[in-house]
Amino acid sequence: MPKFEFKEESLKLEIAGGIYYVKPTAEMLSEYGEYSKKAEKMHFQAEQGKVDTMAFIELCKNAIDTVLGGGTFDTIFTDRVITLKDCANLTAFIFSEISEYFKS
């Protein structure tokens, strides 16, 4: 028999041993589009050896704090050296999970 279940409104993310909840919205996907454009431009600059690492990390920090709440970035990276690669991977993970949420 077909069955209907209401979709959980919060997305649970486990990041570096911490649990974070986010209520995905269409606005977040739009914000991700803006983040992606800026990140792509910075990636292109990196390929040319002209990347401003701190600017890219700040871009990721803003994206993460916007989605998961202010101060989350600092909490996640409390005991970890902040690297461009980690920031990019974490931000990609978060927005990938939000995108998957909307597909289901």
Portion of the chain with pLDDT greater than 90, in percent: 33
Does the model's pTM come out above 0.85? no
What's 17-53 look like in SS3? CEEEEECCCHHHHHHHHHHHHHHHHHHHHHHCCCCCH
Mean pLDDT by runs of 10 across the 104 residues of the chain is 80 94 83 80 75 86 91 95 90 88 78
Q: What is the pLDDT of residues 79-99, one digit of tens each?
A: 999 988 899 899 989 988 988
